[in-house]
Structure 1
Amino acid sequence: MPETPALLGMPEVPRPSGSASGPLSVVLAFPPLVELSFGRYFPSLAVLGGFLSSRGITSHQWDLNEEFALHLLEPDHLRAAGEGRPTGIEGDFLEEMSAVAGRWLQDNRGQLFDAKGRHDFASVTGPAYLLTALARPYLIDPEPEWLADPELLDSPRTLVYRTYYERLDLAARIPKDAALFGVSLPMGPQLVPGLLLAREVKRVRPDVRVVLGGPTVSLMDEELLTTLLSTHRQIDAVSRYDGELPLAALCGQVAPGGTWQPTAVPGVSALTEEHGVVHAAPGPGLHPNVLPHAEYDPALLGRLADAELGIVQARGCYWGKCDYCDFVEQYDGSPAYRGRSVKSFVAEIEHQVVTHGARQFELITESIPPAFSRRFSQEVLDRGLDISWSSFAMVDRRFDAETLELMAKAGCSFLVIGMETTNTRVLKLVHKSADREENLRFIRDAHRAGVNLRINLIPDLPSTTLPEALEALDDIAKIADSVESFSIFPFEATRSSEVGRNPEKFGLVVAENASGLANQAQYALNHLGNIDPAMTDEERSRVHRLYHDFAIRHGSGHMREAGPEFLSELPGQDERMRLARDYLDILPRGRELLVTHVVRRERTVLPAAVASGLAPWLGGADFSPREVAVVFGDAPARQVLAALIESRLLTAAGVGALVA
C-alpha cells in the first residue's frame, strides 16, 4: 500500500470537491517555446495530472508547444519563412536555416508525419530537425526588462505568439468548470509566451486563477520574482520547486467554499494587498515512491509517432557535485536526492504498458545511478518486459562492462552522457566524477555492449585553454565511430550554480556586459556575464566552430541513413545521374547558388560559372558526365563532378524522394 503524505510527516492536502454549482477542474498548459520537445510529450503535465487525479481533481492537459509546431507548419507561415520574413522579426533571414526550412517544408511538409498522420517531429532521421530551425527565430530568452515592462508583451517579437493564442479561441476552449489554470515552465524561452498565455486567459476568463510553476520560476531569484508578480498582474501565484502539494493546496483554495490565500501554501509566491509580494518558504516535496502513476492523456499520445513516456526515477542527482550544474537547485526544502525504488518504478512502467500499450520509455532523472541501472535491468529481464528505454547518465566507473551489457539486454536504446571534455585537469576542477581514461573506457565498453551513446560536449569549460580543447577534440575523434551522435554546447555560467556563486575559484572574471548570453540553459535571467581569460574570443570561436563541424561530420550517421545512396565516384561517361534535388534547398545568391543539404545539414556554394553550367539540371533532370563535359570541357567537368560527389549532391537517376 503506498505511503501517504501524513505517514511521511507531510501535511495532508485537502481534497477539493464539487458542489451544486458543478465539479472542479484544472487546466495544465505547456506553452511554447521548447523547440527540442516537438513530437514529444513533456512529462510535467502527466505527473501533475496523475497527482491531482489521486486527489479527486480533474485536469485537462494542453500541450500548446506541440500545437504551436502545427501553427508554424501552416502554408502561409511556411511561405513567409521561406522568403526570410519570420512573423514580427526584423532582419533578412533569407539565408538562415529557418528560411531553408520554410522553403523545403512547403513541398515536403508531409514528411514530418507518418502514414497515420501522427507527428514524426522527434525523429532523429530525415528532416525533422527543420521544424526546430523553423521555430528558432521566435525563441525569446528574456532579459530582466521583460519582467519589469509589461508593454514588451505587445512588441513585434511576440506577434507570432499573440496571433497563435487568438486562434486558439480560449473563451470556448477553457472548460466552464475550470477554476485554476496552471502553466508549466521548464525552460526559460517559455516565460514570455507563458505570460502572454496568462494574459489571454485572464482576458476571457477573469474568474480563473493563473499559477506559474516549473524550473524557470524555481531558479528565479526572489528579487526578479517580486518584479514579475508586481508587474504582471495576470499571474495570481507562482509555485516553486516540487509542484504537486502546492498545486493541490491551491486547488483547495479555489474550490467552492475555499479562500484564496496562496502565500499560506509552502513554496508559493504571490502579491498580497497587505504585504506586497510574499514568498512562502518551501516545504518538503513528496518522495517519488509515493507519487501516483503519471496520467498521460490518450488524445495527446495518439497524435505522436513512436510516443515515448517519461517515468520519474529520481528527483535531484545522486552525484550532485558538478559545479557548473544548477539542476540540483530545483528542490529547495527537500533532500538533495530522492531515488525511487525499482519495485515502484517498474510497477509504473507495467501500468503504462497495460494502459497505453506503451513500449518506449524515458527515465526522468538528472543521472541514472549505476546500482539502480543494474537492479532495474535485471527486473525488466526477470519480468519479461518487452520495452526500450533511455536515460541521462554520467560517466561513472561503476558502469562496468557487465552492467552495460545487462542494460543493453534489458532494452536500453541509448544514454545521453554529459561527458563535456576528456581533459582531466578541467574535469577535476568542476568536480566531475570521471577523468580522461575513465571517459574513454566507458565509451569503448558501452559500444561493445551495444548501448548507443549521445554525448554532450562543452569545449570551453572554465579555464580550458586552446591546446586543451584541441587535445580533447582529438581524443573524441579517435572514438567517434563508437558514438551515435554528439551535441556541442558553449559553456554558460549560471548564477544559481557553484561556478556562478564563486566564479573566481574557476578562473572567471565577472563582467555583466560580456558577450555571449545564455546558451544551453536557455535562461538569460540566470546567466552570469563573465570573461574566461584562458582563451581569447577568437580562440573560443575557433574551438566552437571546430567542435560543431566535428559533430556534423561524425554525429549525423543516424540522419544520413535516411538519404539515398549518393555517388561516391565518377560514373561512366553515359551513365545517368542527377542532383539529389529532393534533399536540397537551392538559393540564388547573386550569380552563385547556396545549396543546403537538408538531411546532412551541410552547405555548399556553387560559383557563378558552375551554377550557370548546371542550370539545365537544377530542377532535377538527369544527365551524364558526357553532357557535363560538353558544357565545361573534359578536365573542368571532372573537377565539377568530383566536387559535387564530395559534397554528396549527386545520386543515380531515378532515386525517389526521402519518403516514398
Structure 2
Amino acid sequence: MTPGIETGHAVPAEAGSDAAAPGGGSVVLAFPPLVESSFGRYFPSTAVLAGFLQSRRIRTHQWDLNEEFALHLLDPGHLAEAGAGRLVGLEGCHPEEMSAVAGRWLARHHDALFDEDGRHVFAAESGPAFLLAALAQPYLIDPEAEWLTDPALLRSDRTLVYRAYYASLDLAARLPADARLLGVSVPMGPQLVPALLLAEAVKRVRPEVRTVLGGPTLSLMNEDDLARLLDVHRQVDAVVRFDGEAPLLALYRQADAGDWRPTEVAGVSAVAGGGPVHTPPAPGMHPNTLPPASYDPALVARLVGLEMGIVQARGCYWGKCDYCDFVELYDGSPPYRGRSVQSFMAELEHQVGTHGVRRFELITESIPPAFARRFSQAVLDRGLDITWNSFAMVDRRFDAELLQLMVRAGCEYLVIGMETTNTRVLKLVHKSADREENLRFIREAHQAGMKLRINLIPDLPSTTLEEAMESLRDVAELADCVESFTVFPFEATRSSEVGRRPERFGLVVGGGDSGLANQAQYALNHLGNIDPAMTREERTGVHRAYQDFAIGHGSAHMRRTGDEFLDRLPGEDEAFRLGVASLDVLPRGDELVVTHVLRRERTVLPAAVASGLAPWLDGTPLTRRDLTRVYGTAGGTAVLRQLVEARLLTAVAATGRPEPALT
C-alpha cells in the first residue's frame, strides 16, 4: 500500500475512543503478481502496514499472492504445457523460448527450487532460480491506457492465467469472516491488472469487503488516468496515494463502522457524487514514529536466506536527479524524512530477536554518508553479527575510511546509481558526482573490499554517441573493481522533472520515440519523445554495446561453472559425458538447441553433429575415440572442442557423486 516502506520505534495502541475495539473486523493486506524479481523475497509493504495497524489493535492477514503465483506456475500441468511452448491465454507455440526451456527443465528438476524442508529457493542469484522468472515473464502485463477504460480487457485471454489462479485460491473460503477491508499493495506497474482482477474476484464472493489499492503505481499515476480507473473499475472502492498508514487506518474505521465516506480522508481518491474525487494528501508520519514492521512468521519460514528490508528513510537526501520518479512519491510531506540510527537499530534488533534473521536490506533511495557512518559504528559497538546492503549514490563523503568502516560492519555490497561518467550529462540531470568523483569512488570502494553493483544509463538526455562510448570505456577500465553492472536504457517518465520539462533536456515530445519504452515497467507513465543527440541506429548500437559489456562482465558470476565441467580437451581414452542434468536439449528439425542452465547460454548443434551424438544424449559415458569413429579424426576433434568450449561435458569421475549443485 505505501509508496515508501518505513518503520520505527514501537508505539502503543491509541487509547480511549481513538483505539479500534478488540472485537472489530480485520484487514487483509495483499501483494499481487506479477513481480518476478520478488519471487523468494518478502516485499516489506504489507509487513509495514500490518505493524502499524496492529499497533492500533487491528487484526491483519498478509497474503503474498506473488509468491503463491510462482507456486501456481510450478504446477506439473502448467510446466508440461509451458515446456511444449503453450502458455495460458497466449497465442502460438514457441518451444524455443526461455519460458519453454524453463518449463521443460523445471518439470524434470522441480526440487532444485526447494531445500530439504520445502522452503523456496526462488531468489538465488546463481543456479536455476532465474528459470522461474523466465517462466513468468510472458504473463507480465504492463497496461496501456486502454486497460483503464475498457473493462472487457480484464476478461480477455490475456488475463486468463490470473483469473484461473485466483479461482484456484477459493477466495470465498480464504477470506476471514470478519474481513472488513482488502488493502492491495501495487508498487509495480505489472501488478495493476492483477490487482484489478483480485478486487473483482473478492467483490464477486464478498461484495461487502471494501477494496483499496495503493502504492507507487497509483501515486505516480496522473489524476485523469486515476479518475478513469475509478470510474470504470467500480470493484475498487478507493485508492490511497502517497503515504498509506493514516489513510488506510481511517478507511478501515469507516468500513468497520459501516460509515463509508472515503473522500473525506486525506490522500484518498474515490467515486463520490457521481464522479471521481481526489482528496489532497496530509503530511505523512515520520519513520521514527512508526512501530516495527510485522513480518508474518509463516511467510518468513517458507523462504531460504531471507533478506529482510528495514526502512532507513522516505525520500532521497539528495532529491535533485531530474530523471528520477521516486522523489515524487511523497506529495504533502517533506521531501526527505530520515530515520534516526537509534530508531533503525531498535527495529533491526527487534527483527533479529523475533525472526532470527541476519541479512538485511536498507530500504532507501540512497543511504546518506552520515547515517552510514553512525549505523556502521553502532553495529560494531553492539557486536551484531549481521550482513546488509543498500542503495547509495556517489558522494565525496563516502571516503576510503568510511567505506572500510562499512565493510567491517557487515556491508555485503552497495547498489550504485552511477548512470554515466560524463560530467556534462551528469550536471545536466543534477547528479551529485562528476567523472573524477565516480572513478575515485570505484577505486576506493574496491580497495576497501566493498562490492559494488553499478547501474548504468547509457543514453541519458542529450548524450551523444561519443560521450556514451567514452563512458563505457571509463567503466570498462575499472571493471575488475566492480562485481556487476546492470544497464537501463533511458526512459522519460511523465512524473519526473524530465517529463515535465523535456525541452530543457533536449527532448522533442511526439513524432515518434527514439528510446526504448517501458523499461520502467510502467507504460502509463511513459513519455514518448525523440532525443536528437543520437540517431535510432546509434542508440541501438550503444544499448547493444553496453548490454554486451554487462553480460560479459557483470553477470559472469552467474555463468561461472565448477570443476565438474571440462575446460580442456580430454585425453584419447579419458571418459566423459554430456552434463545432461544441467542442460535442456530441444530437437529443431535435425539440429539440437542446447541451453546450459548454469551458464545461461545456448548452443546450436548442427544436424551432422546432432545425429552423431544421439547414443550419448542420455549422459552415457564416451571417449575421444568414440567421437573419432563417428566423425573422423579432424571432425571428432572439432566436435569435442565445440562441446568443451560450451562447457557441456563433465568427467566420468563425476558419475559417482550427485550432479553439481545448481543453487
- Rounded Cα–Cα distance in structure 2 between residues aligned with 1:187 and 1:280: 23
In the other structure, the counterpart of 2:255 is: 254
3-state SS of 2:587 partner? strand
Equivalent positions of 1:454-533 (< 5 A) are 454-511=453-510, 513-514=512-513, 518-533=517-532
- Structure number with higher relative contact order (C-alpha < 8 Å, ≥ 6 residues apart): 2
> How many Å apart are 1:626 and its aligned residue?
2.1
3-state SS of 1:56 partner? coil
In the other structure, the counterpart of 1:171 is: 172
In the other structure, the counterpart of 1:147 is: 148
Alignment partner of 1:427 is 2:426: yes
- Rounded Cα–Cα distance in structure 2 between residues aligned with 1:539 and 1:622: 49
3-state SS of 1:648 partner? coil
- Rounded Cα–Cα distance in structure 1 between residues aligned with 2:563 and 2:78: 29
- Rounded Cα–Cα distance in structure 2 between residues aligned with 1:563 and 1:2: 46
3-state SS of 1:331 partner? coil
CA 1:28–1:149 in 2, change beyond 3 Å: closer, same or farther?
same
Question: Residue type of the partner of 1:251?
Answer: Y
- Rounded Cα–Cα distance in structure 1 between residues aligned with 2:131 and 2:364: 28
- Rounded Cα–Cα distance in structure 2 between residues aligned with 1:94 and 1:276: 48
Higher mean alpha-carbon deviation, 258-267 vs 581-590, is at: 581-590
Does the 8 Å contact 2:11/2:290 carry over to 1?
no
- Rounded Cα–Cα distance in structure 2 between residues aligned with 1:550 and 1:289: 42
In the other structure, the counterpart of 2:552 is: 553
Question: Which whole-Å deviations, capped at 9, do the CAs of 1:399-432 have from their partners, x for residues lacking one?
Answer: 1111111111111111111112222222222221
Equivalent positions of 1:281-296 (< 5 A) are 281-296=280-295
> How many Å apart are 1:499 and its aligned residue?
1.1
> How many Å apart are 1:563 and its aligned residue?
4.4
> How many Å apart are 1:636 and its aligned residue?
2.5
Higher mean alpha-carbon deviation, 48-57 vs 435-444, is at: 435-444
Q: CA RMSD in A?
A: 2.0
Does the 8 Å contact 1:83/1:99 carry over to 2?
yes
Given candidates 645, 654, 659, the residue that maps to 1:657 is 659
Higher mean alpha-carbon deviation, 233-242 vs 606-615, is at: 606-615
In the other structure, the counterpart of 1:264 is: 264
CA 1:332–1:13 in 2, change beyond 3 Å: closer, same or farther?
farther
- Rounded Cα–Cα distance in structure 1 between residues aligned with 2:264 and 2:394: 42
Does the 8 Å contact 1:514/1:530 carry over to 2?
yes
In the other structure, the counterpart of 2:21 is: 17
> How many Å apart are 1:648 and its aligned residue?
2.0
- Rounded Cα–Cα distance in structure 2 between residues aligned with 1:508 and 1:483: 32
3-state SS of 2:547 partner? helix
- Rounded Cα–Cα distance in structure 2 between residues aligned with 1:442 and 1:651: 41
In the other structure, the counterpart of 1:209 is: 210
In the other structure, the counterpart of 2:536 is: 537
Does the 8 Å contact 2:564/2:660 carry over to 1?
no
In the other structure, the counterpart of 1:315 is: 314
Higher mean alpha-carbon deviation, 388-397 vs 514-523, is at: 514-523
- Rounded Cα–Cα distance in structure 2 between residues aligned with 1:6 and 1:465: 57
- Rounded Cα–Cα distance in structure 2 between residues aligned with 1:13 and 1:40: 38
> How many Å apart are 1:589 and its aligned residue?
2.0
Alignment partner of 1:45 is 2:46: yes
Equivalent positions of 1:160-199 (< 5 A) are 160-199=161-200
> How many Å apart are 1:633 and its aligned residue?
1.9
> How many Å apart are 1:548 and its aligned residue?
2.2
In the other structure, the counterpart of 1:299 is: 298
Question: Which whole-Å deviations, capped at 9, do the CAs of 1:426-456 have from their partners, x for residues lacking one?
Answer: 2222221222222222222222222222221
Does the 8 Å contact 1:508/1:533 carry over to 2?
yes
Does the 8 Å contact 1:491/1:519 carry over to 2?
no
Question: Residue type of the partner of 1:15?
Answer: A
The percentage of aligned residue pairs carrying the same residue is: 70
Does the 8 Å contact 1:563/1:599 carry over to 2?
no
Higher mean alpha-carbon deviation, 454-463 vs 334-343, is at: 454-463
> How many Å apart are 1:4 and its aligned residue?
7.7
CA 1:199–1:513 in 2, change beyond 3 Å: closer, same or farther?
farther
In the other structure, the counterpart of 2:5 is: none
Question: Residue type of the partner of 1:465?
Answer: T
- Rounded Cα–Cα distance in structure 2 between residues aligned with 1:132 and 1:367: 27
Does the 8 Å contact 2:85/2:93 carry over to 1?
yes
Normalized against structure 2, the TM-score is what? 0.95
Does the 8 Å contact 2:489/2:515 carry over to 1?
no
3-state SS of 2:207 partner? coil
Question: Residue type of the partner of 1:659?
Answer: A
Question: Residue type of the partner of 2:660?
Answer: L
Question: Which whole-Å deviations, capped at 9, do the CAs of 1:546-577 have from their partners, x for residues lacking one?
Answer: 32222222123432456454222212111112
Question: Residue type of the partner of 2:283?
Answer: P
3-state SS of 1:23 partner? coil
- Rounded Cα–Cα distance in structure 2 between residues aligned with 1:467 and 1:38: 39
- Rounded Cα–Cα distance in structure 2 between residues aligned with 1:96 and 1:658: 25
Does the 8 Å contact 2:515/2:530 carry over to 1?
no
> How many Å apart are 1:659 and its aligned residue?
2.7
- Rounded Cα–Cα distance in structure 1 between residues aligned with 2:57 and 2:506: 53
> How many Å apart are 1:102 and its aligned residue?
0.8
Higher mean alpha-carbon deviation, 92-101 vs 506-515, is at: 506-515
- Rounded Cα–Cα distance in structure 1 between residues aligned with 2:117 and 2:275: 53
Does the 8 Å contact 1:517/1:529 carry over to 2?
no
CA 1:636–1:475 in 2, change beyond 3 Å: closer, same or farther?
farther
Equivalent positions of 1:75-224 (< 5 A) are 75-224=76-225
Question: Which whole-Å deviations, capped at 9, do the CAs of 1:155-206 have from their partners, x for residues lacking one?
Answer: 1110000000000000000001110000000000000000000000000000
- Rounded Cα–Cα distance in structure 2 between residues aligned with 1:552 and 1:500: 30
> How many Å apart are 1:275 and its aligned residue?
5.0
Alignment partner of 1:581 is 2:583: no
3-state SS of 2:546 partner? helix
Higher mean alpha-carbon deviation, 452-461 vs 496-505, is at: 452-461
Question: Which whole-Å deviations, capped at 9, do the CAs of 1:473-505 have from their partners, x for residues lacking one?
Answer: 222222222222222222111000111111122
Question: Which whole-Å deviations, capped at 9, do the CAs of 1:598-641 have from their partners, x for residues lacking one?
Answer: 12211222222222222222222222222212222222322222
- Rounded Cα–Cα distance in structure 1 between residues aligned with 2:355 and 2:627: 56
CA 1:596–1:471 in 2, change beyond 3 Å: closer, same or farther?
farther
In the other structure, the counterpart of 2:36 is: 35
- Rounded Cα–Cα distance in structure 2 between residues aligned with 1:531 and 1:496: 18
Question: Residue type of the partner of 2:625?
Answer: R
- Rounded Cα–Cα distance in structure 1 between residues aligned with 2:144 and 2:607: 43
Question: Which whole-Å deviations, capped at 9, do the CAs of 1:568-590 have from their partners, x for residues lacking one?
Answer: 22121111122222222122222
- Rounded Cα–Cα distance in structure 2 between residues aligned with 1:613 and 1:333: 70
Question: Which whole-Å deviations, capped at 9, do the CAs of 1:226-246 have from their partners, x for residues lacking one?
Answer: 000000000000000000000
In the other structure, the counterpart of 2:443 is: 444
Question: Which whole-Å deviations, capped at 9, do the CAs of 1:353-379 have from their partners, x for residues lacking one?
Answer: 111111111111011111110110000
Higher mean alpha-carbon deviation, 605-614 vs 213-222, is at: 605-614
- Rounded Cα–Cα distance in structure 2 between residues aligned with 1:518 and 1:118: 37
3-state SS of 2:162 partner? helix
3-state SS of 2:592 partner? strand
3-state SS of 2:109 partner? helix
Higher mean alpha-carbon deviation, 418-427 vs 388-397, is at: 418-427
Equivalent positions of 1:355-366 (< 5 A) are 355-366=354-365
- Rounded Cα–Cα distance in structure 2 between residues aligned with 1:649 and 1:598: 10
In the other structure, the counterpart of 1:413 is: 412
Alignment partner of 1:605 is 2:604: yes
Q: Which runs of 5+ in 2 are unaligned?
A: 1-7
3-state SS of 1:604 partner? strand
In the other structure, the counterpart of 2:4 is: none
Does the 8 Å contact 1:30/1:45 carry over to 2?
yes
- Rounded Cα–Cα distance in structure 2 between residues aligned with 1:351 and 1:237: 33
Does the 8 Å contact 1:88/1:159 carry over to 2?
yes
In the other structure, the counterpart of 1:624 is: 623
3-state SS of 1:89 partner? coil
- Rounded Cα–Cα distance in structure 2 between residues aligned with 1:204 and 1:99: 35
Higher mean alpha-carbon deviation, 172-181 vs 460-469, is at: 460-469
Question: Which whole-Å deviations, capped at 9, do the CAs of 1:123-155 have from their partners, x for residues lacking one?
Answer: 112111111110000000000100101110001
